[in-house]
Chains A and B, each alone.
Chain A
Amino acid sequence: MKNRDINIRIEDYILNCRAVAIIINNDNILFQKRKQDEFWALPGGKIRVGETTKETIIRELEEELGLNKFNVSDVSTVSEYFFEFGEDKYHQFIFGHKVLVKGDEWILKNNEFDGIEEQENLVFKWFKLEELGTAPIKPDFLKEQLENINKKELQFITYKEEK
C-alpha cells in the first residue's frame, strides 16, 4: 500500500477510491487479474491524493502495460460499492473511463498476455462483450454497467453486498 493512495481506515471501515479503464476493441473488452486470483477485473488502480481519475488511469496503463498511445474519455461509470473482504468492510468509489488505444499497440494483437510490472504478477485477457454475462468477472454489477457503456448517460450504481 503506497502512502499516497486514497485508501484509508476510518473507524472500522476502509475508504478506497479507484479509477478503472474500459478498453474496448472490436467488441472485446480488456480485463486483468493477478495470476493467483480467480476473478477478472478492469485494469486500473487506486487514486492517489492530488491526482485526477484520468491521471490515475494514464499512470496505471503505463506502469502495467507500458502503454502511451491512448485517449482517456470523461467518466462513463460511477459506482458506490460497499463490500466485505477478509476481516475488512469497504466503502469504495470506482470511476470508469473509456480508453481508446491508438495505433498498433501490441496489446490489440494478443488475446492473453502478461503485464510488464514484475512484482504485480498481472495477466490480461480480452473478453467478448456479449459473453460477459457468464464470464468470471468482479464486481458483478460491472456486467450491467458495461452492457450500457455506449449510452451517453453516466452509468451510476450503488451496490451493497449483503452477507
Chain B
Amino acid sequence: MEKTDIQFEIEGITVNCRAVGILFNNNKILFQKRQKDNFWALPGGKISIMEKGYHAVKRELNEELGINLDPQIPNDLLDVKENFFEYEGKKFHEFIFIYSMELPKNSDILFHDESFVGAEKGKDLVFKWLDKEQILSENIAPNFMVNDLIDYIDGCHKNKKYMRTMRRK
C-alpha cells in the first residue's frame, strides 16, 4: 500500500515531516548523503500520510539499504527538531523525528569502514559510519544537531531529551 509523502506548500513554504534513525555501532553513527550534496544527514526519509514515524524509518532503511527491521517492534523517539531552512532556493519548515534504531548483530551494513552505496536504484545515496572527530569536521545537516550527536556518542544523551529549534538562513 503506497501512500503519499507528507510534503506540501503553504504560502510559499514547504512543510515536510521526516523520520530518521540513529544507528550506532563501534562509537560511530551511520550517515547518508546524496552524491551531489556536500553534507551528511541521518538516514531516513519523509513520513507518508497515515504512517507511523518509526515505520517510515524502517521502510526507508529497507528501500535504501535492503535492511529488514520488524515494524511490529516500536522504537524510542529520542528527539524532535524543528528546522527552518532554505534549499535550492526554496523555503522549508521541517519536523524531524529522531528514533533510536538497532541493526541485527550480523548485518553486513555494520562492517563498512569506508563509504558505501545504497541499494535503492536511482536514489544515488552514499552511506558512511562517522566517528566523533568526523562528525565535528564534516558538514552535517542540520548542523545544530552536531552537539546532540556528540552527546549521544558520549552516552550522556539519555539525560537530555528535548526539542531544539533552530532557524537557519
Contacts and interface: CB of A to CB of B under 8 A. Distances in A.
Interface of A: 3-4, 6, 8, 10-11, 13, 15, 17, 49-50, 52-54, 74-76, 78, 80, 82, 89, 91, 93, 95, 152-154, 156, 158, 160
Contacts of A11: 3-4, 49
Top 10 A-B pairs, shortest CB-CB distance: A75-B163, A74-B162, A156-B77, A49-B10, A154-B161, A10-B49, A52-B165, A49-B13, A13-B49, A8-B8
B2 to A, nearest CB: 11
A50 B3 contact: no
B53 A158 contact: yes
B80 A80 contact: no
A80 B56 CA distance: 13
B80 A75 contact: yes
Contact of B50 (A52, A54, A91, A95): A91
B82 interface: yes
Given A49-B93, A82-B50, A6 B165 contact: no
B22 to A, nearest CB: 14
B165 A54 contact: yes
Contact of B13 (A50, A91, A93, A158): A50
- Best-surrounded residue of B80, B82, B163, B165 (most CB of chain A within 10 A): B163
